[in-house]
Structure 1
Amino acid sequence: MFPCWKKLSVKSAAAANFLSLASQRALTPSRKSSSGKRFNVPPSAEFVARVSGIPTMAKLPYRDSADGLDAAFVGVPIDTGTSNRPGARFGPRQIRVESALLRAYNSGTRAAPYESLVVADIGDVNVNVYDLKDTCRRIREAYRKILAAGCIPLTMGGDHTIAYPILQAVAEKHGPVGLIHVDAHADTSDVVLGEKIGHGTPFRRCVEEGLLNCERVVQIGLRGTGYSPDSYEWSRAQGFRVVQVEECWFKSLAPLMSEVRAQMGLGPVYLSFDIDALDPGFAPGTGTPEIAGLTPTQGVEIIRGCRHLNLVGCDLVEVSPPYDTTGNTALTGANLLFEMLCVLPKVKYY
């Protein structure tokens, strides 16, 4: 009923005269990849109203699997692992709605992801909202299939628990990976309320299972009150680089990211971005807000600083729409996910 993402053709000379060449190119994805497959180009809002159609990420086509895709947006709608305010299970849905504002090109970096990669929205993992351990199993199995297809997942959370089973699947394919973790919290607790799996524990579990190359892990934006005088002692003891938010205040993070790129080297890297890394004045719609956080500009700098890294997966987690009725937190998340797409390997830049 809503074929707005399908190839649009110019059927008359009058229409052809009306549309500029650039517009026709935006509407008609005629460029082909080396495999002969057409790229998926989102419809331009110049000609297709943003409010029309079924909400997919960036109004991309929906596909039921990652087969044939270079990258895919995928939702993991859970908040079963949340320790404070729930609602992140609705994050993927709201991010998709707000992503209708996105356009095809990155004006800041001149990245053209849809001329470079075959990208689609492959929907959500079928989670079990009653059983977190079973949900982790389902996520792990779903990501095994995505990665087996040679596809890079761009994940919309969901609470941060999801990073654990995703990294289990990623490490099965790539071995221990580097990690760029952007967050207000270290998420390295051992046991919380008697449970070892939750949104405060994923990276402790990842270290225990050998999923991370600890010398290639950086945590950026950590802050807030703690349960001990040094909340990040465990992270440092593993070899993580810890960048507390005080080191980020009032400055560009481009120099930091130059150092991070050197630390990550040529090996596989996973990027995990908790929206609560941003100050709640910018992103109030999250479960565990902490004051004095990063700015959206710094968040963009961090992601753009990941260009030229061997990124094998990314996530944007902890968007909780009930706590931001403006939709701005989800809109910010959508834009950050687009920035992640733009820094994937093989993306074309003008």
Structure 2
Amino acid sequence: MATPMTFAAPHAFLGARAHDRGAAVCVAGVPLDIGTTNRAGTRDGPRAIRAAARMLTDGRHPETGADPAALDLSDLGEFAIALGDIPESLRLVEAQATGLAHLLAFGGEHGVTLPLLRALTKRIGGPVGMVHIDAHLDTSEDNFGQRFAHGSVFWHAITEGLVEPRRMIQIGIRSPAWPEMFAWTRAQGVTILSAQQVHESTPAAVATRVLEVVGAGPAYLSFDIDGLDPAFAPGTGTPEVGGLATWQAQGILRRLGAIDFRGADVVEVAPAYDVAEVTALAAATIGWEYLCLLAGKG
């Protein structure tokens, strides 16, 4: 069958077949955004990412030749949430993620990572290493009195034993935060690379550090699109200047093929604030780069 024109590509991510939970790799949207602390609107992120992904359907990876089309890939559509109820929404998301062999999720706010990690660690029987790209630490015990807001996701993940802090690295951090939050995060054993440190280094050197920290064992990738500078990703709820360029993010990710990733998410795309689809395309490309890592393993 001939490859369709990009503007006529199926509306599933990369044209994946629909609603097969038994696939080796599943894609799903998690349209939850009621725990955001600034601009809402990431409930529309998964739809925008799928639409932008049409640009990625007509060729293989330019460096490795990997092709996500070679994967046993299915798009499950959107996970159900409970309107206005964060704890119940997290329970529902965890239930829907349970039993999937490998999940790439598109948010939605960053809070969706917590139930995805709960489901994954139950399936594999233990915690995971973590590659976390973001402008924010997300290790606040609560945000404005809300325990499950999107800025608390990794406080919960660490205290619940879902991630191994000494195998966790945060990349691109640059937002204002209380010194106590930095101190607590580092005290758990987490490695923090600020955006400035990334800029003063190279993607190759950053990737080497990631490999050193994460090491062997199962791991997870969580990519908050605000890890990118607003020049490259304006369509997000909490933009912070001074972030990564898309070429830096790609250069890092492309060197992480040795990591035993068991799942991933790309979150915080808010298309109402986007310009010419650049944020959605960046998020779709990050998802595509991740799937190319999996396809490259043969």
- Please say whether Structure 1 and Structure 2 have the same fold, judged by a TM-score greater than 0.5: yes
Aligned counterparts of 1:279 and 1:97: Cα–Cα separation in 2: 22
Match of 1:192 in 2: 143
**Equivalent position of 1:278 in the other structure:** 228
Matches within 5 A, 1:303-314: 303-314=253-264
Correspondence for 2:11: 55
Aligned letter for 1:260?
V
Q: Report the counterpart of residue 75 of structure 1 in structure 2.
A: 29
Looking at structure 1, the residues matched to 283 and 266 of structure 2 have their Cα atoms a distance apart, in angstroms, of 7
Match of 2:69 in 1: 114
Higher-RCO chain (CA-CA 8 Å, sequence separation at least 6):
2
* In structure 1, distance between residues paired with 2:84 and 2:146: 15
Tell me by how many angstroms 1:260 deviates: 1.6
**Structure 2 runs not aligned, ≥5 long:** none
- Deviation of 1:250 after TM superposition, in Å, equals 4.6
Alignment of 1:7-26 (within 5 A): 8=1
Indicate if the aligned counterparts of 1:159 and 1:318 stay in contact, CA closer than 8 A.
yes
Aligned residue runs from structure 1 range 327-338, under 5 A: 327-338=277-288
Deviation at 1:163, TM superposition (A): 0.6
Q: Show the 5 A alignment for 1:187-226.
A: 187-226=138-177
Inter-partner Cα distance in structure 2 for 1:325 and 1:249: 25
The TM-score normalised by the length of structure 1 is 0.81
Describe the superposition over 1:126-166 as per-residue Cα deviations: whole angstroms up to 9, x where unpaired. Answer: 112321111100111011132xxxx2101111000001111
What code does the residue aligned with 1:102 have? L
Alignment of 1:105-184 (within 5 A): 105-115=60-70, 117-146=71-100, 151-174=101-124, 175-184=126-135
Alpha-carbon distance in structure 1 between the residues aligned to 2:146 and 2:15:
39
More helix as a share of residues: 2
Question: Using the alignment, how far apart are the partners of 2:69 and 2:271 within structure 1?
Answer: 28
Whether 2:21 is the aligned partner of 1:66: answer yes
Distance 1:274 1:344 in 2: 20
- 1:114 is displaced (CA, Å) by 2.4
Once residues 217 and 130 of structure 2 are traced to their aligned partners in structure 1, the CA distance between those partners, rounded to angstroms, is 11
* Length-normalised TM-score, structure 2: 0.95
Query: 2:181 & 2:244 partners in 1: Cα distance?
Result: 19
How far is the alpha carbon of 1:53 from its aligned partner?
5.7
Amino acid across the alignment from 1:309: I
TM-superposition CA deviations, 1:55-86 (whole Å, max 9, x none): 11112221x2321x111111101111111001
Structure 1 residue runs of 5 or longer lacking an equivalent are 1-7, 9-26, 28-43
Of the structure 1 ranges 332-341 and 258-267, higher mean CA displacement relative to structure 2 is found in 258-267
Q: Which one has a bigger Cα radius of gyration?
A: 1
Distance change >3 Å, CA 65–CA 163, structure 1 → 2: same
How far residue 224 of structure 1 moved from its aligned partner, in angstroms, is 2.0
* Partner residue in 2 for 1:240: 190
Are 1:293 and 2:248 matched, yes or no?
Answer: no
Aligned to 1:89: 43
Q: Which residue of 1 aligns with 2:276?
A: 326
Q: CA deviation at 1:290?
A: 0.3
1:34-69 per-position Cα deviation (integer Å, ceiling 9, x unaligned): xxxxxxxxxx2xxx233336411112221x2321x1
Distance 1:153 1:199, change over 3 A: same
Q: Distance in 2 between matches of 1:345 and 1:55?
A: 21
Deviations 1:217-275 (A, max 9, x none): 0000000222x246421110100001111101154221121122132222000000000
